[in-house]
Structure 1
Amino acid sequence: MYQGAVQELIDELGRLPGIGPKSAQRIAFHILDADPEDMKRLADAIRIVKDKVKFCKICFNVTEQETCNICQDPRRDETIICVVEESKDIVTIERTRSFRGRYHVLGGAINPIGGVGPEQLHIRELITRLGDEKIQEIIIATDPNLEGEATATYLARMLKSIGIKVTRLASGLPVGGDLEYADDVTLGRAFEGRRSLVG
């Protein structure tokens, strides 16, 4: 539709996750209209993050050092590892202030249609970490979707023989939700994960 640099920018923006053609066009024109200094700072921030940020050699969280702040923190519980799909999941869990253990980032989820198998994830590195006698529990915190469930099932089966306790985050009805709006899978999970209110 457009020519040259503008169309190239729209095409590149459209390759970002969650950005469709119309959003890409809006962002491109925002960039064109924006203050050049603001856009220079944005471009510099993108370049710097690509140059400086790497993955923690222990858990594969994003960091600017060899190991991330969580792996360096001696106050974290070394006996529990929470397995997540992406680094952004760690931020979500940390906001709850409910977990004080360590993490392991898989780098995605099993998705045969998308060409992602167990060998493309950081599962081998997780098994290596389990050689440490301190680890007593693995919490699987993959997304409650088809790929996340497939990954959780694969991990649970594989870890069963190691003799370490394997748990999965509970899923079900959200606080403040209405039963009539819950889908069948969510309601089924809520029944499976029910807990006693007395004693």
Structure 2
Amino acid sequence: MEYPSRLIENAVGEISKLPGIGKKTALRLVLHLLKEPEGTTAELTEALTELRTKIKYCKDCHNISDDEVCNICASHRRDRSIICVVEDTRDVLAIENTAQYTGLYHILGGVISPIEGIGPSELNIDQLLQRIENNKNEVKEVIFALSPTMEGDTTAFYLTKKLRQFGVKISTIARGIPIGGELEYTDEITLGRSILSRTAYQQD
């Protein structure tokens, strides 16, 4: 594709690196920004810069936050006896949108995947174990809300062995979610029912 300006070409190249955006879509966005007042681009640039420089992660659950402790962990309305273990922030947003869960979360930052070179040490597993150890008189149940994939099941299997020492109840969301599907793409009704009808995690 020929571009009328090297500056446009550079901008298109950077924007097209975003997931789901090809060169044509990136070009439309760039041309749109050129038509907008210069202040609009400046505001977008400032917002993205602040995103990268000022964003924080909750010291308890590792959720994205503006403060040291996220709004969920800081809320006195949450049930602190339940911790829902998820892969990333997108899963927290999906579950919160169901309005069916009132406990706390713990974000692993991914799942165990030997093929991709991701082992337990690359995830927030030790932090989860330490969190339960520090609150062992309060935490009664840990829910696995991991995508029903081989990697998700491997991670749940590993966590189950590690959590046995604490004597907490271990459950997993009901498999109303398609096998091999991604949690973030599941509709809110199915996801909400899966949380409510969770079952005890069985380790084969």
Equivalent residues of 2:171, 2:198 under 8 A apart: no
Distance 1:173 1:16, change over 3 A: closer
**Aligned pair 1:163/2:131, yes or no?**
no
Equivalence for 1:101 = 103
Partners of 1:83 and 1:173 lie apart in 2 by 16
Distance 1:135 1:10, change over 3 A: same
Q: Which 10-residue stretch deviates more, 46-55 or 26-35?
A: 26-35
SS in 1 for 2:84: strand
**Aligned pair 1:149/2:153, yes or no?**
yes
Structure-to-structure mapping, 1:1-199, within 5 angstroms: 1=1, 2=3, 4-131=6-133, 132-133=135-136, 134-172=138-176
For 1:175-194, what per-residue CA distance to the aligned partner results, in whole angstroms no more than 9, with x for missing partners? xxxxxxxxxxxxxxx9xx99
Alignment TM-score, normalising by the size of structure 2: 0.76
Distance 1:29 1:115, change over 3 A: farther
| Matched positions, count | 178
Alignment TM-score, normalising by the size of structure 1: 0.78
Question: Residue type of the partner of 2:131?
Answer: R
- The offset of 1:115, in angstroms, is 2.8
Distance 1:48 1:98, change over 3 A: same
Partners of 1:107 and 1:122 lie apart in 2 by 6
For 1:69-125, what per-residue CA distance to the aligned partner results, in whole angstroms no more than 9, with x for missing partners? 111112211110001111122122112121111111111222333332221111110
Higher RCO (Cα < 8 Å, 6 or more apart): 2
Question: Residue type of the partner of 2:144?
Answer: I
Partners of 1:41 and 1:13 lie apart in 2 by 16
Give unmatched runs, 5+ long, in structure 1.
175-189
Question: Residue type of the partner of 1:163?
Answer: G
Give unmatched runs, 5+ long, in structure 2.
179-193, 200-204
- The offset of 1:18, in angstroms, is 2.6
Q: Which 10-residue stretch deviates more, 20-29 or 125-134?
A: 20-29
Question: Residue type of the partner of 1:110?
Answer: I
- The offset of 1:173, in angstroms, is 6.2
Distance 1:13 1:51, change over 3 A: same
CA-based RMSD of the aligned residues comes to 2.5
Question: Residue type of the partner of 2:125?
Answer: I
Percent identity over paired residues: 40
For 1:152-195, what per-residue CA distance to the aligned partner results, in whole angstroms no more than 9, with x for missing partners? 23222332343221111112268xxxxxxxxxxxxxxx9xx999
